[in-house]
Every structure is written in C-alpha cells, then in structure tokens.
Amino acid sequence: MVRQAGTIAKGGFNIAEAKENLDAQLAVGLMLDAEPRGYLEFDVQDAALDDELTGVYFNTCMLGGAEITYSVLVTLKRRPDQPLTFRSVSFDALDVRTRVNDLKAYGRDQAEKQGVAILLDPDLISRV
C-alpha cells in the first residue's frame, strides 16, 4: 500500500509496533483482506427504505514514517434482527495516496466519483 501511495517508509518498525498500530491494521484489512475480520455498523435515525446501502470510508494512517490516505467503497446491509442497523458486508479498495491535507475534502471527492451520498467519516466512528 505504501508503494501504491507513491511514498516510502522513512523509518523501520518491528512486529510489536505493527500489532499495536490499529489504524494501519484497519487500512490493510479494509484494502487488502479478501474477507476482513472486522465490520462497520451504524444505526439510521430515519427509516431507510433500502435494505442495502453503499458508502465511502476514508482515513489516514502512518507506520514506519510512511503516511497514507485511503478510501474504500463499503456495502452495508440491514440487519434482520435490528431493522435500524446496517452492517458492512464488503469492502472494495478505491484509492490510496500520500497523506492529504484535507481529509474531509478527500472523502467528499471520493464519494462524488463513486456517485455515493453516504460518507463514513472516521471522526464519527468509534471502535468497540
């Protein structure tokens, strides 16, 4: 991913640092894993009519001095047991590049390119 972004790791890192860096693990999982172990889930305040939604998740991470920004297309499906809750069922890599200065503008641009209205803003997502 670092090479794809057009940057290089400026410093080394060991396995312990990689294991502790949850942001980098998330980026690798979402962008590269065929079946990610994690998922994104959110509740809708208004009743969504569709049972499947598409959004764009975007974020920045750093490891070994390399800083990248990335985005993924997220397909979410309504949970049958909780009708106001949607959970991700797939992630498709969209873009990876060197760290951008305006992450929000980057996310909006990526969503616009995909024709998607749902932005999964990392500042509004908490890990559980």
**Structural domain boundaries of the chain?**
15-124
Report the amino acid identity of residue 108.
Answer: R
The pLDDT score that the predictor gives to residue 48 is 74
CA pair distance 5, 81, nearest whole angstrom:
40
Residues 6+ apart with CB under 8 A from 43: 82, 84, 85, 86
pTM, 2 dp: 0.81
Sheet holding 82-98, edge to edge: 41-43, 82-98, 66-79, 52-63, 118-120
CA pair distance 121, 123, nearest whole angstrom:
5
Q: What is the mean pLDDT of each run of 10 residues along the chain (128 residues)?
A: 54 62 67 74 79 93 80 94 91 92 97 95 82
The pLDDT score that the predictor gives to residue 52 is 93
The pLDDT score that the predictor gives to residue 126 is 78
The pLDDT score that the predictor gives to residue 35 is 76
